Structures are given as C-alpha cells and as structure tokens.
Amino acid sequence: MLRQYELVDLVKSYDPDADEDALNRAYVFAMKKHGAQLRASGDPYYSHPVEVAGILTKFKLDCSSIIAGLLHDTVEDTDTSIEEIKNLFGEQVAQIVDGVTKLAMIEQKSANKKQAENFRKLLLAMSEDIRVLLIKLADRLHNMRTLHFCAPEKRARIAKETLDIYAPLAERIGMQEVKSELEEIAFAELHKEAHDSIVARLNFLREQGNNLVPKIIQRLQKDMEENGIKATITGREKTPYSIWRKMQQKNATFEQLCDIMAFRICVDDVTTCYQALGVVHSKYHMVPRRFKDYISTPKPNGYKSIHTGVIGPENTRIEIQIRTYEMHEVAEKGVAAHWAYKQGERVVGRNFKWIRELLEILEQASNPEEFLENTKLEMYNDQVFCFTPKGDLIGLPINSTPVDFAYAVHSSVGDTCVGAKINGEIRPLRTVLQNGDQVEVLTSKAQHPSTEWERFVVTGKAKAAIRRYVRAHKREQFIEMGQQTLERTFKGENLELSDKGLVNVLPNFEAESIDDIYAKVGEGLISGWDVLRAVYPGYKQSKLEKVVNSLKPVFKKSLRKNKKEELKINGLIPGMAVHFSGCCHPLPGDRIVGIVTTGKGVAVHTIDCKQLEKYADEPERWLDISWGDEASQEGVHTGRLKVMLTNEPGSLGEFSNVVARYNGNISNLNIVNRTISYFELLVDIEVKDLKHLTDIIAALRASKVVSYVSRANQ
C-alpha cells in the first residue's frame, strides 16, 4: 500500500504546487473514518481509497481529484456527510465525492445490467464533472486488481459488469490502458480456460520464435532510417482478450490468427506517416483487406491512425499502426472520446479542442484545478435516464415527465396513468424527471388521457397517444363548441336559444338529440344560422344573409358528374372506387395519397391533410398515388377557399366577379363567422387544377374587398 508521503511525492512530481497539507489531511481522514473496516483481502479498508488515489496520480490528475479519490467511499460507507467534507476540504472536493457517491447509488438501483448501453450513458450523463468518472474508473480498476479475494459467485458478476459497462466506458473516454487492463482481468475471471490456453500458446510462440518482437522492431527501425524517416517504433503481442475476441469474431482458430504481434510507428507529422507507409508497403507484402486509413477518415471517437497488415520481417504476419506522436497521445492516454462530437457532427468540434487542451494542461499541470472546475461534461445532456421499479432503465428526451415515462413503458400504462411516485414520493404528473430517478406510475382503469397532458409531455409517443384519444372523443368537444356557436349566433340577433326550440327542429337536421345538433354545428356540418332559421322560420334576415342567399340559386350545377373513375390517377388499385375527400379537396398539382377506406373505396387526400393523422398507425391502408399527366384536362375539381371579406355593400359581388373573371365557378358558399367589419366565408370553387386555383387566390389577394384568402384544408 502507498504510504502517506509516497502519495504526496507522486502528486508533487507532476504538480509542484499541490496542496500538501490537504493531501495529508485527506489521507488521515480516510484512514480514521474507515477505521477497522476490512477488505475481502483482509487488508484494512482504507488501503482501497489510497490505492485508488495512487491510480489517479498515474492519470496525473489535479490535487482535488486525488483528495476526492482518498475520500470517495467515506460518504457511502462511513458516517461522513458531504457537509463535513465541504467544511474540511472545500466545495470542489465535496462536489466530486458527492458525484461518485451518487454513481454508487445508481449502480445499486440498476438491477438489469443487460441494458449496458443505457447504463453507460446514464453514468456519463450523471458524471457532470469528468473527475467523477475518472475516480469511478480508478475505483473499478483497483477492485478488479483485487478481485481474486472475493467470493467466486460475486467475482463472475463483477467481471461481467466490468466487461459490459466499465471497459467500454474507459474506451469511450479514450483510456486505452485502463480499458485493456479491465478487460484482461475480467476475461481471466470469466473464461479461465480460454484465457490460460491463449497465454500458454503465446508463451510457447515466444520461446519458439526466440522473442521475435525486439527483432522485428530493429528491422523496422533500420528500414525507416535507410529512408531518412525519424520514427519511434514499439511492438507488443496483442492481449489475450483481444486475441480471443478476434477468434470469436472471425470464428478462427489460434493458428489461423497469425498476426498476434502488433507494431506501432510514431512519427512527427502526417506527411511522414504516409512516407513511412510507403516504405512498409514497398518492403513487405501487404495482406489484402487489412489496410485502413483512419487519418483521412478518423473513427467516430476521433481515433486517428493508419493500420496495415503485412508479411513482415522474419516472414511473420504482423499488424502495423502508423501515426503521429500527437495522435498517439490522444489514443492512449487521452480523454479523447465520444462526447467530442454529437452524432453526425464532424470531428473538430469545440469539445475535441477541449480534450486536447485538457491533455496539455494535465501534462503541464499548470493550473488544472481551475480548468477542470469549469469543465462540465456535455455528454447526453439532451437525454435523461430513469429506472422502473424493477430496475430497468428507460432513456427519454430531456424535460420528460412521468407521463412520457408511462407511455415509454407501455401505451396502456400511459393511457391509464393517474399519478406517479418519483423516488418513492408522490409527485405531480408534470414534474420534470431527473437522471437516475426511479419512477413508479400509478394507474387506474377509470383514467383517460387528458388534453392537459399535451401541454407538458415531450415524447412523440405520448403526444400521439393523447391526440389519438382526443380525436376519438372529439364529439364531446364538438358539442361544446357547437353550443357556444349557437349561443353566440342567437344572442347576436337577440333571440332566445331554448331546448324546446331545438327539440322542435331535430328532424330538420336528422338529429336525434340536442347534442346531435350541437355536434353538427361544432363540426361545421351546419351553420348557426341554419339552426336559427329553422327555429325562427319567419325571422327577418340581416342584409348580408340576404345577399348570400340571393346569390345561392345562381350557382351553376356542378359540371362534374361523378366521373371520378375517368380521372387519371397513378397507383390506384384497378376496379376500386375512388373519391376526393371533403376535408382537403385535392387538386391536380397537389401531392396526394390514397387511403383505403372501409366500404367506400379509396379516399384521396392532400399529403398535408390533417385527417391523415388518423391513419398514422395503419400503414397498410396507405396508397402511393399521384396525378396522371392528363388529370388537369380531365374536367373539373372542387377547391375550397377560406375568405375574409370586408363587411360592406358590394363586397360579395366584387368577390364573385373576380372568381368569374378567372373562369372559376362558385359551387357553394357559406358564411362561417362575422363581425361588424368582416365576414368569413368558406367557398367551393370549381377549377381545373391547383394552378388555376392559385391564380384565383392571387387575383383575390389583389382585390380591396378581400382582407384574407387561403385554401381551406380542414
């Protein structure tokens, strides 16, 4: 075990300004707090945090990290509080220890380690400060080094978890050495036979080949020198775990895996990399399909290097990596990694620069404290990960709520959720979830999705489910809207709206109840004025109504006589009836889709029609259709306009004149709304195609009586 002064010396060797006093106090504090606790090895417990701190000095971490490493288990395993650490060692150390403690708690919560990917992301997201993660990795590394002291059944679980979670995590933040060591120990634990036989084979080859690695290094060194290239060459046998992985992936035997030796050529700059590559390929036979140039196309984690396989010196198949010193630094020690670039972004992001700066600063130890302090990890900060009561992890977008969580678990859970317990406490459904929250959704069969939820949910699944439900229950809303419309219409004319009056006119509207009338008005199938005129047949109409009604009889009968089948639409099912939907009135020129309806053939909708949402979950009903070339010559289509006219004498006449000048034929017209200065109309106009209607719209916009005009899509 590292002694107190040895640890201090180690830190001072790369950071002469380190706070010696604080280091000493932390060492003693950990020792006292862990007291008589023992490790499985029989060592005093405090040897563990001391060794973890020792590992952290290998990463050349700042003084706060080393102190936090010494204290990392005190809050979890002893009576120490974060407050106490804050008072004794300052805010920063306390925050790091708090972060490590939280990670430990998260680890215990997660029962389902199969979700390794989500769990790794959670750890990354939780470790706001990179130092938290580095301490966690050092902690795991020391635990792995002392794994053989644990009970066998515990060992397998820890080893598996290390392979699933921590080795990839180390790789992700670019710590190759840590990753390899974790993997080797876990491999030896989980697949002892395979491990031992690979090690035995390697030993055998080493003896037989009379230690080839140094010989090959020498030859390569000479090759470079002869060509005037300054290079540092290293070589190694691949690790047993990486050989085993290759054997698995390629389904190869050990004998088939000839290139168990890998060499690395490090040079000053990129140009020299390619010169070195030229030398290697001209001297040795290249093994097909082994060449990869990650310099011109770096790996997603920023890794840069040239890889090639050749039949090298001594007639041995070897792998050679060629890179600059800088690339090597980033690949081996660097915290280079995935957070450097969000998916899809190119490599040289802000964060990548940050990693380089971090490396430089750690290397020079000029002022790492300040630097690390301001450096928060920005990984997965657009996501939040929460646990189910069973310990499954669910990843959601940031700002998600228990309702989003419920829908992510299952639609039926979302539809019936009435409340949620977050970390054991009842919380409102609109509560924003935090990383690591455990969420228990409370359900009731009597509950239904609420339109209220739509205001705070963020996931598409929750939104779609709520809308689906609301659409199905729109009638209630139509009733409400219709009632309001009628009340307005009647009140505007100072007439009484009574149930009795409405009951009398039910047959006029094929309605069976007053609610039916309300619903029809709300849905826009009949207007408030239709109802008013029915209830008060003799009512003297307003001037405007008179004008509209006087115009109605002059509308020519529609020219289109249901010759829909003659219309040329590509992609229809032969023999299937087709009709144009009344919601969006598609015209030749519109992008269209067909929906196979039950019993009424194919309904044609414009591609942006809101009604299509209804069929979102039934892809089998969608038909890819398009207008044929002659569609616009094939007769007449109805386009629907929403128009707002100024409420003045002659405006309606002027409006119909414009339409007529452009050879449009008004086939229907309804007032939907009016105020003192404007009235709003829905107008059906028969046109040839989309361009024809667009021309009319343009002309109408130029007219001074038209204050607003557009196509009505609903």
Q: Which residues sit at the interface with Mn ion, rule CB under 5 A?
A: 73, 139
Least distance in Å: CB of 143 to Mn ion?
7
Q: Which is nearer to Mn ion, 130 or 330 (CB)?
A: 130
User: Which one of 20, 43, 76, 84 is the catalytic residue?
Assistant: 76
Reported in sequence order, the residue ranges of 555-663 that DSSP labels E, i.e. its strands, are 569-570, 578-580, 592-596, 602-606, 622-624, 626-627, 637-646
Q: Which is nearer to Mn ion, 70 or 502 (CB)?
A: 70
Q: Tokens representing 108? A: 């215990």
Q: Which is nearer to Mn ion, 19 or 73 (CB)?
A: 73
Residue 27 in 3-state DSSP? helix
Residue nearest to Mn ion (CB): 139
Is residue 339 within 8 A of residue 377, CB to CB? The reply is yes
The answer to whether residue 404 is catalytic is: no
How far is it, in rounded angstroms, from Cα 465 to Cα 414? 8
Least distance in Å: CB of 31 to Mn ion?
15
Least distance in Å: CB of 52 to Mn ion?
6
Q: Which is nearer to Mn ion, 72 or 688 (CB)?
A: 72
Burial readout 24-48 (b: 16 or more C-beta within 10 A, e: otherwise): eebbebbbebbeeeebeeeebbbbb
The answer to whether residue 76 is catalytic is: yes
Picking from 672, 228, 282, 274, the residue whose alpha carbon sits closest to that of residue 489 is: 672
Q: What separation in angstroms does the CA of 101 have from each of 94, 98, 108, 533?
A: 10, 5, 11, 75
Least distance in Å: CB of 33 to Mn ion?
13
How far is it, in rounded angstroms, from Cα 153 to Cα 645? 82
Q: Which is nearer to Mn ion, 48 or 172 (CB)?
A: 48
What are the two backbone dihedrals, phi and then psi, of residue 265, each rounded to the nearest 5 degrees? Answer: -110, 115
The DSSP output letter for 79 is S
Least distance in Å: CB of 141 to Mn ion?
10
Picking from 643, 624, 640, the residue whose alpha carbon sits closest to that of residue 584 is: 640
Q: Which is nearer to Mn ion, 73 or 684 (CB)?
A: 73
Q: What separation in angstroms does the CA of 402 have from each of 135, 201, 409, 649?
A: 32, 55, 10, 57
Is residue 623 within 8 A of residue 676, CB to CB? The reply is no
Q: Which is nearer to Mn ion, 139 or 181 (CB)?
A: 139
Least distance in Å: CB of 185 to Mn ion?
16
User: Which one of 77, 107, 440, 515 is the catalytic residue?
Assistant: 77
Picking from 477, 449, 475, the residue whose alpha carbon sits closest to that of residue 463 is: 449
Least distance in Å: CB of 88 to Mn ion?
19
Is residue 492 within 8 A of residue 449, CB to CB? The reply is no
How far is it, in rounded angstroms, from Cα 264 to Cα 320? 6
Longest Cα pair distance anywhere in the chain, in angstroms?
115
Q: Which is nearer to Mn ion, 52 or 276 (CB)?
A: 52
Least distance in Å: CB of 56 to Mn ion?
12
DSSP conformation letters of 217-262: HHHHHHHHHHTT---EEEEEEPPHHHHHHHHHHHT--TTT----EE
Host H or E run for residue 25:
helix 20-34
Would you name the residues annotated as active-site residues? 76-77
